[in-house]
């Protein structure tokens, strides 16, 4: 006898709906209705355009207006016309608003920390939560163009290198490989994309150009928790789109047979195997794609 998978999903839903109130609706407990707290929170997290907040929270314009007015009356936010378009308004926290926002943040963080420390195997719990969050949030994954030296990007690269050293029989040492110059992965020469899921980086890809008509795909990585969602293909497509924008005519990449799922992806999306085109010690397989 095995347990019904559907019953397991529904048990998860029940567990989550009865506890997440305590986890995330910590909005409550500071004497403010959920609606106002959500708006304050959105502004605190950097959303300033009123229309963007409205879109993000799915609110009616009338309701939004009243919620903003309420927060303004409480002295937590102030709104000013948008500098480029006086129809739009921009909201930002006042001093009092920032301290109130920090109080919400502290509460949320304390609850999150408490939840982790109550568990005997927090690392395993986190991995499971990452997997579930990626599956639930798959529709909200956004690709951001980023400087490869940014924290998010460096995190992805670090995980990528760690994975290569786990999977290559003789390990992997970045310093022996040709680490692309950051400037080659920034426009106008190239680009670097980070996939963000609810604020956390879960994948990346680099487009390394040299100013000519040929560029290279580098550092394609997807977090273990986000595999199986079609993210690698999405990253590759986005990189190709940018390459076309940069008038690049052909792409190349090098890879290793210890990464069969990557090769599978390349072969399934229009890439052809070619001769070795560099003397990097790690790759053993080389691909090209005409744009």
Q: Which residues here bind DNA, judged by CB under 7 A?
A: 33-36, 49-51, 54, 59-66, 68-69, 79, 85-89
Q: Return the residue of 116, 176, 183, 250 that touches a copy of itself, per CB under 8 A.
A: 116
Residues in contact with 188: Cβ distance below 8 Å, sequence separation at least 6, in sequence order: 209, 246
Q: Return the residue of 65, 108, 237, 285 that touches a copy of itself, per CB under 8 A.
A: 108
Q: How far is the CB of 64 from DNA (least distance, A)?
A: 6
Residue 140 touches which member of a copy of itself, DNA, none, C-beta under 5-8 Å by kind: a copy of itself
Instruction: Name the burial class of residue 261, with classes exposed (0-12), middle (13-18) and buried (19+) by CB atoms within 10 angstroms of its CB.
Output: exposed
Tokens for 208, please give them: 């390394």
Q: Return the residue of 31, 46, 120, 279 that touches a copy of itself, per CB under 8 A.
A: 120
**CA-based max dimension of the chain:** 68
Residue 151 touches which member of a copy of itself, DNA, none, C-beta under 5-8 Å by kind: a copy of itself
Residue 238 touches which member of a copy of itself, DNA, none, C-beta under 5-8 Å by kind: none
Residues in contact with 49: Cβ distance below 8 Å, sequence separation at least 6, in sequence order: 82, 88, 90
SS3 state at 261: helix
Residue 36 touches which member of DNA, a copy of itself, none, C-beta under 5-8 Å by kind: DNA
Tokens for 188, please give them: 């106008």
200-209 and 191-197 strand pairing = antiparallel
Q: What is the binding site for a copy of itself (CB under 8 A)?
A: 1-3, 5-20, 23-25, 108-109, 112-113, 115-116, 118-122, 124-138, 140, 151, 154-155, 158, 197-201, 227-229
């Amino acid at each position: 006898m095995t347990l019904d998978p559907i019953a397991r999903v529904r048990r998860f839903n029940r567990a989550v709906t009865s506890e997440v109130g305590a986890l995330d609706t910590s909005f409550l407990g500071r004497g403010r209705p959920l609606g106002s707290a959500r708006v304050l929170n959105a502004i605190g997290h950097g959303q300033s355009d009123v229309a963007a907040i409205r879109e993000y929270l799915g609110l009616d314009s009338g309701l939004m207006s009243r919620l903003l007015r309420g927060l303004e009356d409480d002295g937590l936010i102030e709104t000013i016309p948008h500098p480029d378009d006086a129809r739009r308004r921009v909201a930002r926290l006042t001093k009092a608003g920032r301290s109130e926002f920090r109080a919400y943040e502290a509460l949320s963080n304390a609850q999150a920390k408490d939840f982790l420390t109550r568990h005997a195997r927090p690392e395993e719990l986190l991995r499971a939560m990452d997997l579930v969050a990626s599956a639930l949030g798959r529709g909200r994954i956004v690709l951001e163009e980023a400087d490869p030296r940014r924290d998010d990007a460096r995190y992805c690269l670090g995980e990528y290198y760690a994975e290569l050293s786990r999977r290559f029989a003789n390990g992997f040492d970045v310093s022996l490989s040709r680490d692309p110059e950051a400037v080659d992965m920034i426009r106008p020469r190239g680009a670097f994309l980070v996939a963000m899921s609810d604020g956390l980086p879960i994948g990346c890809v680099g487009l390394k150009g040299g100013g000519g008509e040929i560029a290279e795909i580098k550092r394609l990585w997807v977090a273990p928790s986000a595999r199986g969602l079609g993210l690698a293909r999405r990253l590759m497509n986005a990189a190709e789109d940018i390459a076309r924008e940069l008038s690049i005519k052909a792409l190349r990449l090098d890879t290793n047979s210890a990464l069969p799922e990557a090769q599978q992806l390349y072969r399934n999306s229009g890439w052809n195997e070619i001769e070795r085109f560099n003397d990097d010690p790690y790759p053993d397989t080389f691909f090209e794609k005409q744009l």
